[in-house]
Amino acid sequence: MGFLSRFKDALDPDNVLMEVMNGFIEGVAMKRSLGVDQETWEPGKPLKLCLAGYVGTRNTGADVRVEEMIRQFRHVVGDDDLELTIMSVNHARTAGYFRTVRQVEIPVVFPKFLFEECPKHHGVIACEGSMFKSKFANALSTMMAGSLGIAAVEDKLAVGYGAEAGGMTPQLRDFVKKHCKHALVQCRNNPSREVLGRLGVRTTGGTDTAWTFDPGSPEIGEKLLREKGWDGKKKVVVICPINPFWWPVKPDLGKAAAQTLVGQYKREHYRSFYYHHSSEDADLKYDAYLQGIADGLERFLQEEDAFTILVGMERVDRQSAEALSERLTVKPPMFISDDYDMYEMVSVLRRCSAMISSRFHAVVTSMPGLVPSGGITMDERIRNLMNDRGHPELFVEVDDEALDEKVYGMLRRLWDDGEQISDDIGRVLPNQFALMGQMGIDFMDEVQRVYPEFPRRDLPDDPMAHLPPLSPHLQGLMEKYG
């Protein structure tokens, strides 16, 4: 690597953030070596756990999976033996979520905050699904790996829960390798275990944690749909678009200055001094993506009389839903997560009869409602899920040149073979529940490895006994398909 390349890497804001985080982790290790007082677990104390993730952005999937983690931890550890704290990037957007869990707001520049907050606990649980990837934001992975690293250097519990790992920059890969080697990462697929195994990180198997989520009464979704013009009879088709081409998010002080001074980069602005990727090539691909969905959907709607809705699973998806709506003859009503909470969003999804989604958790949270679904995928998550379901024909890549034809073909398949697809989905669910239950067992094994005297609840040695309580609807699915 030449001098200029090394100089550029050294000045990259993501790499600077990792170096700063390195320093704070070393500071925690030094305090421990000097015998500075730290919070330690002792018999009779509740286990204080800090959850580090991506809540507070109105990302429905992130919120749902964390809600189910909390319910599972309470069940397998026991409420009397557990104190939970969660990091939120915006308290206002998590108001009413994660009841009885202490919420602390994490600043945009987080290393000093983690240095001060994580040692107050007996362990750290990293919560985000896309935990170790450069696809979305190195800063997010740095935050979670840094949190785990602080817990690890204090010899405390350090667990990544329901995680996924993929392509990382060399700098992020080295950071994860250095600071997560003493953590345990419970992965939701085998490819992720392979990625982390090559870095020397301990892993176990698992799944996503959103499977057990109960949105409440189906009448909630029906009421919301009626308010948007649904007649209560037509089948509902839902499209969940995103902008697949404006990732990763990176810090950019130059763009921040330009936005402040002359109003540039408003569309790309994510938050604070973080900006989405932008380029002429990305804009062209995004245009083709939206037009492909619009053309395939319009062709389908010429043949079938369906009520169509657009759903934004994260508040940033509003731009994509609005841009797609502009290309359609009839403007569909929209459900965006900054207007509806996670219970309302999932209830609406489960009242649909066919789904095409670029959001992984739109598919996952709709599956317990047996909603026939297909995916337009920007990475391996939807691809892996559809292959695991036995539906390799029900996903397409975001940049496929024949996207319009394939969207139309998927909608036709979902419409014509919906009952069979629903049955296929039902048969997948018991295995996902079992994998999630096993995660509860493995989690308690790790708690007792770190804290051998910690009391373990007297639960049957059965994965299903380590799930959070299931709703009557989910219990019925288990009786039918289990």
Ordered per-residue pLDDT tens for the chain, 482 residues: 454 454 345 568 899 999 999 999 999 999 988 888 789 999 999 999 999 988 988 999 999 999 999 999 999 999 999 999 999 988 888 888 998 899 999 998 899 999 999 999 999 999 998 899 988 889 999 999 999 999 999 999 999 999 999 999 999 999 999 999 999 999 998 899 999 999 999 999 999 999 999 998 899 999 999 999 999 999 999 999 999 998 677 766 566 555 665 566 576 666 666 666 678 888 999 999 999 999 999 999 999 999 999 999 999 999 999 999 999 999 999 999 999 999 999 999 999 999 999 999 999 999 999 999 999 999 888 998 999 899 999 999 999 999 999 999 999 999 999 999 999 999 999 999 999 999 999 999 999 999 999 999 999 999 999 999 999 999 999 999 98
Give the CA distances from residue 410 to residues 242, 366, 392, in Å, rounded to whole numbers and listed in that order: 18, 17, 11
Query: Is-same-fold flag (12-206; 218-416)?
Result: yes
pLDDT of res. 274: 65
Distances (CA, A) of 446 to 156, 184, 185, 190: 10, 8, 11, 20
Q: CATH fold of 218-416, please? A: Rossmann fold (3.40.50)
Distances (CA, A) of 20 to 2, 27, 75, 97, 151: 24, 11, 37, 32, 17
Alpha-carbon distance of 477 to 482, in angstroms, equals: 7
Of 66, 43, 41, which is closest to residue 55 (Cα–Cα)?
A: 66
**The two three-digit tokens of residue 387, written as one number:** 């292959």
Q: Which CATH class is domain 12-206?
A: alpha beta
End-to-end CA distance of the chain: 55
CA distance 110 to 53: 12
What pLDDT, on the 0 to 100 scale, is given for residue 482?
A: 81
| The one-letter amino acid at 394 | L
Long-range contacts formed by 369-376: CB under 8 A, 24+ apart = 370/422, 370/423, 370/425, 370/426, 370/477, 371/422, 371/425, 372/414, 372/417, 372/418, 372/421, 372/422, 372/425, 373/414, 373/421, 373/425, 374/410, 374/411, 374/413, 374/414, 376/289, 376/293, 376/403, 376/407
Residue 163 to residues 5, 179, 184, 454, 477, Cα–Cα distance (Å):
32, 16, 10, 25, 26
The pLDDT score that the predictor gives to residue 2 is 52
**Cβ neighbours of 40 (radius 10 Å):** 11
Q: Identify whether the C-beta of residue 403 lies closer than 8 Å to the C-beta of residue 396.
A: yes
pLDDT score of 234: 97
> How do the domains of the chain map onto residue ranges?
12-206, 218-416
What's the pLDDT score for residue 375? Answer: 98
Task: Give pTM, 2 decimals.
Answer: 0.92
pLDDT at 4: 40
What is the crossing angle of helices 13-33 and 3-11, to 10°? 70
